[in-house]
Copies of this chain bind each other. A is one copy, B any other.
Amino acid sequence: MRTHGLSSDTTKLSRRPETRRSPALYGVVSFKNYAIAILPLHDNGEVTLIGQHRMPLADYSWELPEGGGPIGVDPLESAKRELREEAGLVADDWRQVLRFQLSNSVTDERGFGFIATGLAAAETEPDETEALRIVRAPFRQALDLAVAGEMPDAMTVAMLLRAYHMAKEGELPHALAKAMLS
């Protein structure tokens, strides 16, 4: 879960001199963590989504399992941990399929998007202390919600569209692509 973003232990607000083209100072939010989004893609074409309350936008939202990790830790390791903790899943196959700069006019937050397949229930239960809800939905339904603006988290939108692109371009196993697009 991507939280604690601006507590003083994870970010700092700094001011740097801008280029000579502009004498103005420039405010930047610096992140010590990167962001992670995981698309858990089941063999039958379903995806696992997480529902959670997002304080900054004051509403309940559905999105992919997301989280973060400290810079210096392999994003894949952080992704495996987040998938287990948030969705209660482990995966046989992992592919990093997108890189992000999330709000590059004002922060240096970077993100990584993974597709996880070969899914199975983890031995441990997901951490429910953050009031997460876990659902499985057909890929098409999730994609439709994303493009309709009903699931607007930027990494979620981009990852669902990337999976569609991969299915159409032959970058996923044929049977999986067929199950997703049916």
Judge whether B98 and A157 touch: CB under 8 Å.
Answer: yes
Complex CA distance for A80 and B20, rounded to whole angstroms: 29
Complex CA distance for A105 and B56, rounded to whole angstroms: 7
> How many copies of the polypeptide does the oligomer hold?
2
- A residues 121-170 near B (Cβ < 8 Å) are 129-131, 143, 147, 149, 152-155, 157-158, 161-162, 164-165, 168
Judged by DSSP, the binding face of A is: mixed
Most buried by B among A6, A19, A153, A164: A6
Q: Return the contact of A103 from the options B16, B28, B154 (Cβ within 8 A).
A: B154
Stretch binding the partner chain, chosen from A40-48, A70-78, A106-114, A172-180 = A106-114
Nearest-neighbor residue (CB-CB) of A53 within chain B:
B19
| Interface positions of A (Cβ within 8 A of B) | 1-7, 11, 13, 16, 18-19, 21, 24-29, 35, 53-58, 61, 66, 68, 97-111, 129-131, 143, 147, 149, 152-155, 157-158, 161-162, 164-165, 168
- Nearest 7 CB-CB pairings of A with B: A5-B106, A6-B27, A2-B105, A161-B161, A99-B149, A158-B158, A154-B154
Given A54-B105, A158-B161, 14 new contacts (CB under 8 A): A2-B104, A2-B105, A5-B105, A6-B28, A7-B24, A7-B25, A19-B55, A21-B131, A26-B55, A29-B106, A56-B105, A68-B105, A100-B157, A103-B103
